[in-house]
Amino acid sequence: QELTLLDSSNTIFKLLGPVLVKQDLDEAKATVAKRLEYITGEMKRYEQQMQDLERRSEQQREVLGKLQQEMQ
């Protein structure tokens, strides 16, 4: 959101180790967009993993419940 407020006359710096390096506005916007895309993808992947684990956990609970009923 901050990058949309800037125009080509503004100077943008990128931190590389201990050094600030000038960066083009379009390059900065592209970098931020790629990072956001990556983060969004990772969040979706982790949410899917959580759903899969919850589904497996529920299946195991059902199997355990059936085994307990058989033992009684």
Region of 11 please: left (phi>0), alpha (psi -120 to 50) or beta.
Answer: beta
Q: What is the pLDDT of residues 2-31, one digit of tens each?
A: 888 888 889 999 999 999 999 999 999 999
Report angle CA 33, 39, 44 to the nearest 5 degrees. 125
Flag whether the pTM goes above 0.75: no
In the chain, % of residues over pLDDT 70: 100
Give the 3-state secondary structure of residue 22: strand
